[in-house]
Amino acid sequence: MKVYIAYKFSNEESSELREKLENLDEIVKSLGFETFIFQRDVKNWDSGVLDSKIVVEKAVEELKKCDVLVCFIDGNEKSEGLLLECGYFKGLGKKVVLVVKKDVRYVLLREFVDDVIEFEDMNDSIVRDRLKVVLEK
């Protein structure tokens, strides 16, 4: 099974974002799943800007190849790209999982996804344990 890890990219510190995504990637891979992270797999962690048409085309191509979308959110600022990925993936009839920091108020998205995993610290074993259950069902 392949997991697409989605996240808010705009206005994020690239080294901090990379660390967070690598942490989540490690958790998902430790459960035996293959992952796709746009910033890593398309841009090789480069923070440069790609044409939005290319971004959408490549994201749609990869979303079609994946079985589950894991949305990682640790801040209150909305992301159009993340919302588009979620809507498209949901339209394909596939599972969407929200991994969200406890104090974040993404209310609409919480109602839209199949499962919500809240965390205080990504290093907490609760995230791994809940992802295991959610991804294997």
Q: Distance between CA atoms of 93 and 105, rounded to whole angstroms?
A: 25
Could you give the percent of the chain with pLDDT greater than 70? 97
Global confidence as pTM: 0.93
Q: Distance between CA atoms of 85 and 79, rounded to whole angstroms?
A: 10
- Each as own residue / partner, the long-range contacts of residues 90-95 (CB below 8 Å, 24 or more positions apart, any chain) are 92/63, 92/64, 94/66, 94/67, 94/68, 94/69, 95/67, 95/68, 95/69
Whether residue 10 has pLDDT greater than 80 = no
User: pLDDT at position 24, please?
Assistant: 96
Residues 88-109: what's their mean pLDDT?
A: 91
What are the structural domains of the chain? 2-136 (3.40.50.450)
Q: List pLDDT tens digits, range 23-77.
A: 999 999 999 999 999 999 999 998 888 899 999 999 999 999 999 999 999 988 8
Tokens representing residue 126 in the block: 């609760």
